[in-house]
Amino acid sequence: MSGIYAVALALTMLIWAGSFIAIKVALEELNPFNLAFYRFLIATPVMLIVCRLNELNRCDIPAMVILGLTGVTLLYAVQFVALELTSATNASILINTSAIFIAVMSYILLKERFTPTKAAGIVVAFAGAALIIAGSFNASFSGSAIGDALMVFDGFLWAVYTILGKRMLEKYSPESLTAYAFAFGTALLFPLASLEGLENPALVSLPTAASLLYLAILCSVLAYVVWYKALAKMSATEVAVFVYLVPLFTAIMAFLLLGERITLFTVVGGIMTMAGVYMVEQSFRHTENLK
């Protein structure tokens, strides 16, 4: 049974890697905030229908609003702006800095242990991220270093969402928490899209429409459902390892479909970043095993 889920997870990583390509394609016609808004305007109703939800307690609404703001509204608004400026490959690597921010926040806010391995992993990962950003200053397209920095900030936003959501998971299932975050995050995206000028998604080209549906249905709903079904059948450690396939898949697709140039800075910095993230995650698991 776990073999089936391993194949499903590998395909899920391929879908998530493809999201960076789909975003680049859709951004050629849709502005970043419009793309984020329409993505979740499609995904949210589907998620609410396919998932079995816990009843939302009214006293938890403020917390859900914050989750929607950090895990959907700002997360994807910043990510889509970043992808107008940087490469899909760099973005897929740098978003993984979220694990580093989670480690630091867990130490400060949750008083979790800070081991030498975790500290070394943070240093290595951020050195790798810095190398990627430094390499972007020599890139042929303007603003790529700013886009890289925004993707690191996106990792910070995901870490905030994760830490805040950890307490809420004591009362709500992961599916419920995500569905409600989607709903509030979509509502909060509407003012941003309006300020940008609402565009008519019915008038976009077929490639953009296909990219929008890909992001909404495959990346935001199907991949998420597969992820949690796999977690129910496999250990968290086994499942987490698959995330390391995303930058590899993205780099290959970006080269073949977008003609992106993969620089030595990206290769070396990417290896350092993912190695640092791996060290931090291994430290987390070792700490959990000691409890």
Q: What is the pLDDT of residue 1?
A: 47
- Cα(72)–Cα(272) distance, rounded to whole angstroms? 28
Check if the beta carbon of residue 221 is closer than 8 Å to that of residue 47: yes
Q: What is the pLDDT of residue 290?
A: 47
- Cα(107)–Cα(103) distance, rounded to whole angstroms? 6
* pTM (two decimals): 0.84
- Cα(180)–Cα(275) distance, rounded to whole angstroms? 33
Check if the beta carbon of residue 30 is closer than 8 Å to that of residue 261: no
User: What angle, 0 to 180 degrees and rounded to 10, lies between the N-to-C axes of helices 74-85 and 174-196?
Assistant: 60
- Cα(250)–Cα(124) distance, rounded to whole angstroms? 22
Range of the domain at 176: 2-290
What's the burial of 148, exposed, middle or buried (CB within 10 Å: 0-12/13-18/19+)? buried
H-assigned helices in the chain: 2-26, 32-50, 61-68, 74-85, 88-94, 98-109, 116-136, 144-168, 174-196, 206-213, 223-233, 236-241, 245-253, 264-290
Q: What is the pLDDT of residue 69?
A: 95
Q: What is the pLDDT of residue 15?
A: 94
Number of domains in the chain: 1
> Which DSSP string do the residues of 113-157 spell out, in sequence order?
---HHHHHHHHHHHHHHHHHHHHHTTSSSTTHHHHHHHHHHHHHH
- Cα(34)–Cα(18) distance, rounded to whole angstroms? 20
Residue 277: half-sphere exposure toward Cβ, Cα within 13 Å: 23
Per-residue model confidence as pLDDT tens digits over 239-264:
666 777 888 889 889 989 988 888 88
Give the chain's residues under pLDDT 70.
1-2, 110, 112, 136-143, 231-232, 234-241, 283-291
